[in-house]
Amino acid sequence: MPAIPSSKPYRIGRSKTGLGLFATQKIKKGTKIIRYFGPMLDLKNKKHDDIDNKYLFEINNRWTIDGSVRKNIARYINHACRPNAESDVNSRKRKVVIRAIKTIQPGEEINYDYGTDYFKIFLKPIGCKCDHCEKKRAKKRAEARAEKLRLKLKAEKKAAKQAEKQAPKSGKKASKAVVKASKSKAASKRKAGLGSANAGPHARGTGKPTKTKSSRTRPLSRVQPKGPDLATRASST
């Protein structure tokens, strides 16, 4: 990792995508932060045209900077869809400078937009990991979870309504079954001679006749008159 003078307002540090460039001091809006440099590649030269890496910075249709050299500290600056810096390109001087487009606080990562072509070729296939895109993905995941939960609750509510509708029908079916069973039981009893047609005069209960009032009352015994009987009376007269 290349050494950076302490006078510079940035340092190389760990970021979500590997290494990045971070502010060590407050960088005001409009400040030129660092120059992007390296060997100049002439696209008319076939040897230069064969060079391919992630650090190529195209100035115009002919000239491109090969920023893969180790001394190019600006190559550590990562892409962002909502950046705090931008690349200021001077085609005539073949010079590129990274400039702050908003105030950058100490500790914040410095980033700029790499452009549409670079995004489509290198970042889109793997997914951009800048803060803006991470927030968008998190929002989509949250919305997807909320929609999934909503559909689940809707399905549960629908199932509960169907169960409520089916409950009275099942109750009616059960009552009909009970009535049918009782009727078949009564029919079987009649066939077996246990029905009301062959019952005694008092069918409820044991079927035995109850005792009447006369049967419950005992007859009174005839009382004999006191004193001598008639035969004794006749002899005495």
Residue 38 domain boundaries = 10-115
Q: How far apart are CA 225 and CA 192, in angstroms?
A: 61
| Residues contacting 91, CB < 8 A, separation 6+ | 59, 60, 63
209 is a domain residue: no
Does residue 39 fall inside a structural domain?
Answer: yes
Residue 36 CB burial class (10 angstroms; 0-12, 13-18, ≥19): buried
- Residues 49, 95 within the same domain: yes
Q: Are 77 and 165 found together in one domain?
A: no
User: How does pLDDT run along the chain (237 residues), one tens digit per residue?
Assistant: 788 988 999 999 999 888 999 999 999 999 999 999 999 999 888 888 888 888 999 999 899 999 999 999 999 999 999 999 999 999 999 999 999 999 999 999 999 999 988 888 888 888 888 888 888 889 989 999 999 999 999 999 888 888 888 876 665 666 666 666 666 766 666 666 654 445 454 444 444 555 555 555 555 555 555 555 544 444 544
In angstroms, the CA 164 to CA 147 distance is 26
> Are 60 and 102 members of one domain?
yes
Question: What residues have CB less than 8 Å from 161, skipping those under 6 apart?
Answer: none
225 in a structural domain: no
Does residue 193 fall inside a structural domain?
A: no
In a domain, 202, yes or no: no
CATH code, 68: 2.170.270.10
- Residue written as token pair 């069973």: 181
Do 103 and 55 contact (CB within 8 A), yes or no?
no
What DSSP string runs through 67-102? TTSTT-GGGGPEE-SS-SEEEEEETTTTEEEEEESS
Same domain, residue pair 164 and 102? no
Show the CA angle centred on residue 158, arms to residues 152 and 164, nearest 5°. Answer: 140
In-domain check, residue 4: no
Within this chain, do residues 110 and 22 fall inside the same structural domain, yes or no?
yes
Residues 157 and 86 in one domain: no
pLDDT (0 to 100) of residue 177: 66
Could you tell me if 72 and 141 lie in one domain? Answer: no
Q: Do 110 and 141 have their domain in common?
A: no
In a domain, residue 84? The reply is yes
Count: domains in the chain:
2
CA dist 118 and 57 (Å) reads 10
Task: Examine the domain organization and report whether 148 and 77 are in the same domain.
Answer: no
Q: Are residues 105 and 134 in the same domain?
A: no
The β-bridge partners of 14 are 19
Give the pLDDT of residue 49.
Answer: 83
Alpha helices in the chain (DSSP H): 46-49, 116-118, 131-191, 213-216, 230-236
DSSP label at residue 195: S
Same domain as 145, residue 95: no
Domain match, 106 and 146 both: no
